Structure 1
Amino acid sequence: MTTSEAPAPGRPVVLRGGTVLTMDDAHTVLTDADVLVVDDRIAAVGPALDVPEQTTEIDARGGIVMPGMIDTHRHMWQTAMRAYGADWTLTQYFVWYYLEHGKVFRPEDIHAGNLLSAWESLEAGITTTVDWSHGLQTVDHAEAAVDALQAVPGRFVLAYGNIQAGPWDWTADPAVRSFLDRRRTGAEDLLGVQLAFDVTGDPAFPERAAFEVARELGLPVTTHAGVWGATNDDGIRLMHENGFLTPETVLVHAATLTADSYQRIAASGASISVSTESEQSAGQGYPPTWQVRRYGIGVSLSMDTSVWWSGDLFSAMRTTLGADRSREHLEAHVKGETVTHVHLRAEQVVDWATRGGARALGRDDLGSLEPGKKADVVLIKNDASPVSFPLLNPYGQVAFQAQRGDVHTVLVNGRVVKHEHRLVGADLPAVRRNVEATVDHLRSSLGEDAWLAGMNPGLPDEEVLDNPYQYTEYKSESTREARGSMFGEPGAGT
């Protein structure tokens, strides 16, 4: 049965005749091949598959079928302010959200941002998104965040955080612990839970209490690490020496660290979520993939926040390739050498956008198209675009040529959530109304002058470079010590 309509839920689906990037261990690429989905699983991959009766056929000829992409770090609650901070530095971001205005977000504002961001992810072929939700001032905010995620047919992980309070305080709140225990189960395997907080490097290590709660509840921890002016090697050392740096730990950015920290991360099995668009623009540090590759550390990709940047991993892949290759060429030029073969290839960043995210989340059932895996599948095909052909290097096509408008079909858990370039079941006018209400609330709460000034906010009287976290008095100028070269430690490149 072939149809141009969105397939009925519960019916098998086969994507016919595409170029299939399986992203299996061998990175097998199949041409003129099919992917059969039955229930929530991939049933078969190969040419001219026999399929059950009443299977819906989707024509994938001329297109690329690949695993759903995975974003391991996105502040979804900020999406209602899309592009507001386009010209911010990281310091201005700290000023706006951490010091001045983050507290004015109500639960309904968290809901509005999450709902918009969740649909945005699916539209771009991102089937799993980690909601790095550090605006959860109350459990009501958290309930609103999860309600929004569960209203959208994607796969999400709520990384629970609160930048307005110390992690040792909010993790001790019985209401928070009850929420975490209740929300981490069920949801048809479409909702996961992490804890999200940063480690300042305070020698007293007050964050220990939060790590202990995470361990007690069996929850992974994700943390901004190696961020200029905020976190550094001291935090990595404290986590490692106290046994809290584990394979489940996801370190975001990790861009201003020394060899000692990268060695500790590699030894622990922790992974790094690289947000290249963010690191290039905001100033966390030079995107670290060139160092991370040297130490064999696992990498996933992320977009950080739409208050600044785009919300799709096509941008993440191409900016990551650009940053890594730029560093490689420039460092060679400093030594009077010429790079003749780049180390980072398109195939590798496609892996990071799929398998890398699955590894970071401990989800062996995601990230590749193999029988028995969860059916999170993306078809990239756009017959109306001259950029869609010729299809010569499928990894290069995904990493450098494709964009969200080329995402033809998306399946999550076997359910078609985007078909023929249109989201299925998305009431975007209602989403727009909620977002507009949030914007109106923020503008009225701040006042028009403060709202306009916030697009390029000045600095407050207190110093924010030593400590943007207002829940602690600890300060350390080591978060902005001079680097040995423009790229970090001398000779640290590959």
Structure 2
Amino acid sequence: MNGTSPGIVFRGGTVLPMDLARSVLPDTDVLVVGDRVEAVGPSLDVPTGTEEVDASGGVVMPGMVDTHRHMWQTAMRGYGADWTLTQYFVWYYLEHGRHFRPEDIRAGNLLSAAESLDAGVTTTVDWSHGLQSVEHAEAAVDALRSVPGRFVLAYGNIQAGPWEWSASPDFRAFVERFPRSDLLGLQMAFDVTGDPAFPERAAFEVARDLDLAVTTHAGVWGATNDDGIRLMHENGFMEPRTVYVHAATLSHDSYHRIAATGGSVSVATESEQSCGQGYPPTWALREHGIPVSISMDTSVWMSGDLFSAMRTTLGADRSREHMEAHRKGDTVTHCHLRADQVVEWATRGGARALGMDDVVGSLEPGKKADVVLLKNDHSPVSFPLLNPYGHVALQAQRSDVHTVVVDGRVVKRDGRLVGVDLPSIRREVEATLEHLRGSMGEEAWQAGMNPDVPETKVLDNPYQYTDYRTASTHAGHG
């Protein structure tokens, strides 16, 4: 590993391989040779010189996959703790998002990439809708390539219509020179307003021409609705690799269309609960058989780990199930959503959504070696380990991430990141904050933590690159 060892073996852990049976393998070894999982089994014979990690008392699992994270915003960690979704739109879409320079995108991405690895998230989709220019995009890529994780850049620009920026020769040239690999993928990220003229068609055609998957915020209260899904479907732009983010306020008709075309939904439960996109929809997605992955959205609000995301997702789904039963005078006696399903959504579910199920998402011989060991001998919460899936989903936390391997490379060992220059990242983040505060002025910066909503039509349509308005939200319920 790291050029000095022929491999690494995790000895004697409880292994959750995330195979189709969702097996639990006690006292089992996982052998990594090169960038691949070589073997999974008890008491494995290993090559001479193999690094041994004592995994006894711990859980060995695949690296987690986050399918929707606005990484560029991480330099503002916690700034919008009390925001609603509308205030988020005001701050980033209407007023201050334009202040971000390419180097600010880079700083946010560096910090976000490091926190992903620290929490055992080995694959992260950078839902990068702050790319006001190709220079911003180059800065985002530079950051992602500087941190030893696995990433997908989802290219977007909230300051311009997707039919505009996707038609730019600069964008096409960027795509043509993009260094795509198993460690760095590319998508297009844009939303569909529901405008009957369907101006987004041009962007979908570019995505098809360039063979890029599309990820889109769908079913977001006050922003996107069933009209967008219907237009995508009627025009033939719903594909199995399309990822619909949130999908929290859609009708059964829209869920049927997603299910029929094989798409998946990225659920960001903490965000949906706190900010107002809509009630986390896993209960509806399960009903329609729609594949689910998990995401954390943005560190401007939420924690950048998937442990929080898993437990809130489990809680929200069960809460809805109880609520619906109580409304009918019934009692839920058995939970339908189980802990092992949520762990699957956070690992293999994310890999499937990204078309990477043959690469990552499970611990099987031949797959890429993205491996996480959860073990914390200094914590009383680490034992007893009775229900491993329940432990991961409801007990574990970032501090329990002992070892992380990405593509066969150790990137966290004994609870500390390896190959990540945190002091350098801190300096870049501090420079970004100094720039933002200076550009805005201290009064505006302080007011931004609880911004007023100006007299605009933001509640009808936060996308300022189009004049289309809809009465499907608050105006339609007067």
Normalization by structure 1: what TM-score? 0.95
- Aligned partners of 1:270, 1:289: CA distance in 2, in Å? 14
Q: Find the residue that maps to 2:284 and give its secondary structure.
A: helix
User: 2:466 matched to which residue of 1?
Assistant: 472
- Aligned partners of 2:305, 2:61: CA distance in 1, in Å? 15
- Aligned partners of 1:29, 1:397: CA distance in 2, in Å? 12
Q: How does 1:40-55 map onto structure 2 within 5 Å?
A: 40-55=35-50
Match for 1:194: what amino acid?
Answer: Q
1:26 aligns with 2:21: yes
CA contact (8 A) 2:5 2:51 kept: no
- Aligned residues between the structures: 476
Match of 2:326 among 321, 325, 333: 333
1:301 aligns with 2:298: no
Match of 2:83 among 82, 88, 91: 88
Match of 1:460 among 454, 463, 467: 454
- Over 3 Å counting, the alpha-carbon distance change for 1:480 and 1:299 in structure 2 is farther
CA contact (8 A) 1:32 1:61 kept: yes
Match of 1:391 among 367, 385, 394: 385
CA contact (8 A) 1:80 1:438 kept: yes
Q: Deviation at 1:480? A: 4.6
User: 1:344 matched to which residue of 2?
Assistant: 337
1:133 aligns with 2:128: yes
- Over 3 Å counting, the alpha-carbon distance change for 1:9 and 1:250 in structure 2 is farther
Q: Find the residue that maps to 1:70 and give its secondary structure.
A: strand
Q: Find the residue that maps to 2:472 and give its secondary structure.
A: helix
Match for 1:42: what amino acid?
Answer: V
Q: Deviation at 1:9? A: 5.0
User: 1:432 matched to which residue of 2?
Assistant: 426
Q: Deviation at 1:481? A: 7.4
Q: Deviation at 1:482? A: 7.1
CA contact (8 A) 2:6 2:34 kept: yes
User: 1:222 matched to which residue of 2?
Assistant: 215
Match of 1:259 among 231, 252, 264: 252
- Aligned partners of 2:430, 2:343: CA distance in 1, in Å? 35
User: 1:35 matched to which residue of 2?
Assistant: 30
- Aligned partners of 1:468, 1:349: CA distance in 2, in Å? 32
Match for 1:353: what amino acid?
Answer: A
1:157 aligns with 2:152: yes
CA contact (8 A) 1:350 1:399 kept: yes
- Aligned partners of 1:237, 1:362: CA distance in 2, in Å? 24
User: 1:179 matched to which residue of 2?
Assistant: 174
User: 1:17 matched to which residue of 2?
Assistant: 12
CA contact (8 A) 2:5 2:49 kept: no
Match of 1:97 among 86, 92, 96: 92
- Aligned partners of 1:213, 1:25: CA distance in 2, in Å? 35
Q: How does 1:242-281 map onto structure 2 within 5 Å?
A: 242-281=235-274
User: 1:61 matched to which residue of 2?
Assistant: 56
User: 1:423 matched to which residue of 2?
Assistant: 417
User: 2:405 matched to which residue of 1?
Assistant: 411
1:380 aligns with 2:353: no
Q: How does 1:277-292 map onto structure 2 within 5 Å?
A: 277-292=270-285
- Aligned partners of 2:73, 2:434: CA distance in 1, in Å? 14
CA contact (8 A) 1:227 1:479 kept: no
Q: Find the residue that maps to 1:181 and give its secondary structure.
A: helix
- Over 3 Å counting, the alpha-carbon distance change for 1:385 and 1:9 in structure 2 is same
Q: Deviation at 1:8? A: 5.0
- Aligned partners of 2:317, 2:475: CA distance in 1, in Å? 23
Q: Summarize deviations over 1:158-192 as a string: whole Å, max 9, x none.
A: 00000000000000101111111211434xx2100
1:441 aligns with 2:435: yes
CA contact (8 A) 1:228 1:480 kept: no
Match for 1:119: what amino acid?
Answer: A
- Aligned partners of 1:401, 1:331: CA distance in 2, in Å? 27
Q: Deviation at 1:455? A: 0.4
User: 1:75 matched to which residue of 2?
Assistant: 70
- Aligned partners of 1:96, 1:215: CA distance in 2, in Å? 32
Q: Deviation at 1:78? A: 0.1
Match for 1:33: what amino acid?
Answer: T
Q: How does 1:234-249 map onto structure 2 within 5 Å?
A: 234-249=227-242
Q: Summarize deviations over 1:24-58 as a string: whole Å, max 9, x none.
A: 11112110000000111100000000111110000
Q: Summarize deviations over 1:307-366 as a string: whole Å, max 9, x none.
A: 000000000000001101111111111111111111111000000000100110001221
Q: Find the residue that maps to 2:163 and give its secondary structure.
A: helix
Match of 1:320 among 303, 313, 318: 313
Q: Find the residue that maps to 1:477 and give its secondary structure.
A: coil
1:355 aligns with 2:348: yes
CA contact (8 A) 1:9 1:416 kept: no
Q: Deviation at 1:11? A: 2.6
Match for 1:274: what amino acid?
Answer: V
Question: Which has the higher mean CA deviation after the structures are superposed, 146-155 or 328-337?
Answer: 328-337
User: 2:188 matched to which residue of 1?
Assistant: 195
- Which runs of no fewer than 5 residues in structure 1 stay unpaired? 1-5, 484-494
- Which runs of no fewer than 5 residues in structure 2 stay unpaired? none
Question: Which has the higher mean CA deviation after the structures are superposed, 7-16 or 363-372?
Answer: 7-16
- Aligned partners of 2:191, 2:4: CA distance in 1, in Å? 41
1:208 aligns with 2:201: yes
CA contact (8 A) 1:65 1:380 kept: yes
Kindly report the root-mean-square deviation, in angstroms, between the aligned alpha carbons of the 2 structures: 1.1
CA contact (8 A) 2:460 2:475 kept: no
Question: Which has the higher mean CA deviation after the structures are superposed, 425-434 or 297-306?
Answer: 425-434
- Aligned partners of 2:54, 2:399: CA distance in 1, in Å? 17
- Aligned partners of 2:6, 2:77: CA distance in 1, in Å? 36
Match for 2:364: what amino acid?
Answer: E
Q: How does 1:103-122 map onto structure 2 within 5 Å?
A: 103-122=98-117
- Aligned partners of 2:4, 2:257: CA distance in 1, in Å? 46
